[in-house]
Structure 1
Amino acid sequence: MDMQTKASRRHILKWSGVGAGIMVAGSLLPNFGISTALGAELGDGDVGVLNYAYALEQLEAAFYIQVLETPFSSMQPNDHVILSSIRDHEIAHRDFLKKALGRHAIGGLEVDFSAVDFGSRASVLGTAEVFENLGVAAYNGAGQLIKNVDYLAAAGSIVSIEARHAAAISDLLRPYSAQSVGRGHVDAKGLDGALLPSQVLPKAAPFIKTPVTAASLA
C-alpha cells in the first residue's frame, strides 16, 4: 500500500489551542476514548459523543471555577449567585459524564483562557454567553448521533440546563431585553440552533491546549 493510499484512510478533525483543521494521518485509532501524551482521541459511537460532551463540560467547568476564584471587581451579589450556580451545574455535568464513560473517558484537558479578561465583567459574561449558546447547539446537534436511548435522555436533560444558563447570562448582560429570549439563536419556527461536532470543535479551539481528535464524529 503506497503512502497516499494509507493517508486517505483517515481524516481526523483536530482542534487545539492554536486552531483547527483536517489532518490526514495513518490508520484509525481504536474505537474508544483514549488519552496520550500527545492529546486525546474521543472515540466513536456513543463513547465518542459522550467524550465530546465531556470535553465541552470540562471547558465550561474550568471557566466558571476560574471566574469565581478570581472574581471581577464589579461583581454584584446577583452575579455571584448566578455564576456560582452555573459553576456547580457544569461541575456536576462534567463528573456525571466522566462516571458514565468510566475507563473510556479521555483525560483532563488543559485549557487556555488567555483571551479572557477575568477582571472585566463584560469579558467574563461575554465569554460565558458564547460557551453556553455553543453548548446548547452542540447538544442539539449531537443528539442525532446517539444510539443509546438512556444517553439521549441524559443529554436532553443537560441541554435544557445549558439553555437556562444561556438565558441567565443573557439577562445579566442585557436586563429586560428581548435579546434575553434567544434572539440570534432561535429561528423563525421557534427552534433552537444545532451544530455538528465538526462545527463546534473549531469554535472551542482557542480555549483548549490539549490536541483532541475525533476520528468518526460528524
Structure 2
Amino acid sequence: MKNQRNEEDQLFLEKADGFLTANVQRRSFLKYAGAGAASLALLAAGCKKDMNSDDMGVSFGTGDTAVLNYAYALEQLEAAFYIQVLNFPYESMNANEKSLLTDIRDHEIAHREFFKSALGTNAIPDLKVNFSSINFNSRDSVLGTAKAFEDLGVSAYNGAGQYIALGDYLVLAGKIVSVEARHAALIRDLISNGTFADNTVIDAMGLDKSRSPQEVFAIAGAYVVTKINLNTLPG
C-alpha cells in the first residue's frame, strides 16, 4: 500500500507541476487540463472516500482530500463568477479591462479543471451558485465582487496551507495562491490605482491575512446553493 501510494503521489505531482508551469494558450488549456486525467491519482484506491451528498450536504472527505476539495470548491465559485462577467460584460468595460478579466477567467477555469482532474473520483460534484445579489451591469459591483473573491481566495489558501500533510501538495498550492494574489492586486488597481497591497489585506509584519475554512465559507456560502458539510474540514 505504501509503495503504491508513493508511486501515485509522484505521478500526481509530475502531472500537476507540468500543468501549472506549462505555457498553455487560452484555447488549449482546457484540453491540456483534461489530458491524462484518468492517470492522476490523489489517493490509493483503498483510501477512496465517498463524495456523495447526504442530509448534511456534500462531504469534502478527510485529510489532504478535504483540503484540496475545499480549494476546488472556491475555484468553482471564482470560475463561475468570471464566466458570468465575460458572458454579460458591463457597458463601460473597455478593451483593456476585457483582456485582463479574460485572462483571470482563464486562470480560474484552469485552476478548477486542475483540481477536478487531480482529485478524480474523490472530487466533489459541480456546485450550484447564485449570483443574483451581484449587478453584472455595474462596473463597481463587478469589480467590487471580484476584489472580495480574490482577497477571500488568497486568505483561504493562506489559512489552509497548514493543514496539508504532503509537502509537495503544499508547493502546488503555493503556485496557485501566488497567481490568486496577482489577480487580487490587479483588481484592486483597476478599482483605484496604487491600492494593490494596502493594509486591509496586509498586516504590520508585511504578511497577507489568512482565514480558516469556516470563516471563508461564512462569506462564500452566500453565493453557493449546494448544501455543503464542513464538518470534516480542519480548523
TM-score by length of 1: 0.82
**C-alpha separation between the residues in 2 aligned to 1:31 and 1:189?**
41
**C-alpha separation between the residues in 1 aligned to 2:66 and 2:205?**
31
**C-alpha separation between the residues in 1 aligned to 2:205 and 2:138?**
36
Measured against aligned partners, the alpha-carbon deviations of 1:106-138 in whole angstroms (never above 9, x if no partner) come to: 000000000100000000000000000000000
- Provide the residue aligned with 1:211 in structure 2: 227
1:132-147 paired onto structure 2 within 5 Å: 132-147=150-165
Measured against aligned partners, the alpha-carbon deviations of 1:76-122 in whole angstroms (never above 9, x if no partner) come to: 11110110000000000000011111110000000000010000000
- 1:198 deviates by 1.2
- Provide the residue aligned with 2:131 in structure 1: 113
- Provide the residue aligned with 1:84 in structure 2: 102
Matched, 1:199 2:215: yes
Measured against aligned partners, the alpha-carbon deviations of 1:20-45 in whole angstroms (never above 9, x if no partner) come to: xxxxxxxxxx9835133764111110
Higher helix fraction (1 or 2): 2
- 1:151 deviates by 1.1
Higher strand fraction (1 or 2): 1
Cα distance 1:125–1:60, how it changes in 2: closer, same or farther (>3 A)?
same
**C-alpha separation between the residues in 2 aligned to 1:200 and 1:211?**
15
1:32–1:48 CA contact under 8 A, matched in 2: no
- Provide the residue aligned with 1:24 in structure 2: none
- Provide the residue aligned with 1:35 in structure 2: 52
Alignment length, in residue pairs?
187
- Provide the residue aligned with 1:155 in structure 2: 173
**C-alpha separation between the residues in 2 aligned to 1:101 and 1:143?**
17
Q: Which has the higher contact order (CA 8 A, sep 6+)?
A: 1
* Percentage of identical aligned residues: 52
**C-alpha separation between the residues in 2 aligned to 1:142 and 1:129?**
20
**C-alpha separation between the residues in 1 aligned to 2:75 and 2:211?**
16
**C-alpha separation between the residues in 2 aligned to 1:181 and 1:193?**
11
Give the gaps of 5 or more residues in structure 1: 1-29
Amino acid at match of 2:211: L
Amino acid at match of 1:169: I
2:85–2:136 CA contact under 8 A, matched in 1: yes
**C-alpha separation between the residues in 1 aligned to 2:62 and 2:103?**
32
TM-score by length of 2: 0.77
2:48–2:122 CA contact under 8 A, matched in 1: no
1:20-31 paired onto structure 2 within 5 Å: none
**C-alpha separation between the residues in 2 aligned to 1:40 and 1:114?**
23
1:34–1:40 CA contact under 8 A, matched in 2: yes
Amino acid at match of 1:156: G
- Provide the residue aligned with 2:113 in structure 1: 95
- Provide the residue aligned with 1:180 in structure 2: 196
- Provide the residue aligned with 2:90 in structure 1: 72
Cα distance 1:186–1:33, how it changes in 2: closer, same or farther (>3 A)?
farther
Matched, 1:131 2:149: yes
1:33–1:47 CA contact under 8 A, matched in 2: no
**C-alpha separation between the residues in 2 aligned to 1:35 and 1:121?**
38
Cα distance 1:108–1:37, how it changes in 2: closer, same or farther (>3 A)?
farther
Amino acid at match of 2:49: F
